[in-house]
A and B are shown apart, each in its own frame.
Chain A
């Protein structure tokens, strides 16, 4: 392709419909973890989380990536996390960066939704996007936003982002709680054309 501007007339180009393709659905039932094999044909892979509940109170919903088809989940990551919070009692609200939950060149699991309450009506939901996991050239960016009913009757709005610092293809993702099982909940994975 020559140097210069790439100019595209959107309606002069061929178009297809249904950009999001549902690839997999996993439902937790006292599950230690849920894992997904990632597709190679999509530039964006989105996970939707629906009412994820922990068996243990006040734990974090976490994820990690694999470059060996799930034999290990230990990709080196550097991440950010900030949370907006407000309690039901209206006695506390805050927006702050959380140094205790970010990671710097770590292979640990990432807490994308910390402090989940395990009351019968409590859960976390949200969305995570992973960019071009099959790339063998670039690091692998991801970000999520997870509204949560957090321990102590708080509304948490958690923003997590980072990159897997690897040029190997990421071919699997795993989700688990920081302690105990995932009591219930559904995770859906889409490929975005």
Chain B
């Protein structure tokens, strides 16, 4: 088990977004999403990054998105790439969970790893795995990866739903160098 240092826990209740700033001091950051529950049904949980301390969240990125899914009814299951959830040199928010249900017991969970955001030499790689109770009463096991295509330091990150507010616990960790 790696020596992760808990940096902060943000407990959102009806929040429009959750931001973390000052992404310095660690080569790898990890964000854990616990019980992400949207106010609006069938919306996306997504993130973007900033190079100006959170004034703007619009970093150019190229990403991949694939997932496994299975309905409670057993009517549908499979594994596939989702072209509608990837980004090619776009500045928009990257989807981490698709079509999150807002039933009282529904939520999404997962983790995002961000590598060396303070670099002023390289692009910034990331990957994520999330598990989502999706609006069609199904499980989605989503795998997202890509890079923030900038050599500027990335110093803030923002998480939100594509529409409406959210309840969630989001934790930020830094990997202690050993």
Residues of chain A having any CB pair with chain B under 8 Å: 1, 3-13, 15-20, 22, 43-44, 46, 48, 78-82, 95-97, 99, 102, 104-105, 129, 131-132, 135, 137-139, 141-143, 159, 161-163, 165, 167, 188, 190, 192-193
Contacts and interface: CB of A to CB of B under 8 A. Distances in A.
B131 A143 contact: yes
A7 B50 CA distance: 13
Interface string B77-92: 1110000000000000
A137 B35 contact: yes
B115 interface: no
A193 B30 CA distance: 13
Given A82-B79, A137-B35, A139-B107, A1 B14 contact: yes
A104 B136 CA distance: 13
A81 B68 contact: yes
8 contacts: A6-B18, A8-B19, A13-B8, A46-B1, A80-B68, A82-B79, A141-B109, A165-B72
Given A5-B19, A15-B5, A18-B3, A44 B77 contact: no
Interface centre among A8, A10, A96, A105 (most CB of B within 10 A): A10
A15 B109 contact: no
A159 B19 CA distance: 30
A138 B106 contact: yes
A97 B70 CA distance: 10
Contacts of A46: 1
Given A79-B70, A102-B70, A7 B5 contact: no
A44 B109 CA distance: 10
Most buried by A among B8, B25, B171, B172: B8
Interface residues of B, number: 61
A125 B139 CA distance: 24
A5 B13 CA distance: 10
Given A1-B14, A10-B22, A48-B1, A78 B70 contact: yes
Given A15-B7, A139-B133, A159-B68, A6 B15 contact: yes
B159 to A, nearest CB: 9
A139 B8 contact: no
B109 A97 contact: no
Contacts of B1: 20, 22, 46, 48, 188, 190
A167 B35 CA distance: 12
Contacts of B54: 7
A139 B77 contact: no
A161 B134 CA distance: 13
B77 A80 contact: yes
